[in-house]
Amino acid sequence: MAPHHAWGDARSERVPLGHLSSVTAGPSGSLLDHLHDGPDGVPVIAPPDLTEHFTVDARRVRRLPLNQAERLARFALHEGDLVVVRQGTLGRLALISSEHTGWLYSSSCLRIRPHRELVLPAYLAAYLTHPPVRRELLGRALPGTVPSLNSAMLNQLPVTLVPMERQQAVIEALADIDEQVRIHREMAARLEAIRPSVFDELTNRRPNQ
């Protein structure tokens, strides 16, 4: 049961992630033996499909035959879920959008399903990708040839929780920054693209032109 929160004040609280969400490990690898690269079936998100921008790159996603995917309905993704890498690129995550509803996720991932009456999915995604939090998360990983996380570790991870209106303000502020970053990246890409043609024009121009 989640602790009582004084949502009317602006104070933050440290609350275990397990009180704010349900964390579910992906199906075992043996249940995903028939993954294929064809166009038919249910897509299964794996670590390489998660981008550094917290989205899913579906270009190389593999699929599971429909009759097998139906048996794994408890692992189906909903809009607002978070998929987190638990083996490999630890801590990388994606915030699931409506277009990925009904997709599955691999055994190398964990699903975090936020309790939306307590925490907004986008706020939780921003929190878990905040560098100090990510370092703390990685510090909790089980050592080994391939370090890994599990659902118990995530459940115990403390989350700095603020009232809903401040969560929304955080989301909006970060979205504004992300938009400015996108604009500047596009501008830099355009300048990089025209650089060779400017060089050619200036070096091939005849005198007095």
Longest C-alpha distance within the chain, in Å? 80
- The SS3 call for residue 64 is strand
- The SS3 call for residue 26 is coil
Report the share of the chain in percent with pLDDT over 70: 93
* pLDDT tens, position by position, 98-142: 999 999 999 999 999 999 999 999 999 999 999 999 888 888 888
Closest-CA residue to 85 (of 154, 11, 172): 154
Higher pLDDT, 147 or 173: 173
Statement: residue 4 has pLDDT above 50: no
* pLDDT tens, position by position, 10-56: 578 999 999 999 999 999 888 888 889 888 999 999 999 999 888 99
Determine how many CB atoms are found less than 10 A away from the CB of residue 176: 10
Is the entire prediction scored with pTM above 0.95?
no
Higher pLDDT, 33 or 73: 73
User: Worst-scoring range by mean pLDDT, 45-54, 72-81, 106-115, 177-186?
Assistant: 177-186
Q: Which residue has the tokens 């579910």?
A: 24
pLDDT of residue 206: 67
Give the sign of the dihedral formed by CA 35, CA 37, CA 38, CA 42: positive
Interatomic CA distance for residues 46 and 27, integer angstroms: 12
Q: Which two tokens stand for residue 117?
A: 């009456």
Q: Is the backbone of residue 59 left (phi > 0), alpha (psi -120 to 50) or beta?
A: alpha
The residues, any chain, with a CB within 8 Å of residue 36's CB and separated by 6 or more, are 62, 63, 64, 65
pLDDT of residue 207: 63
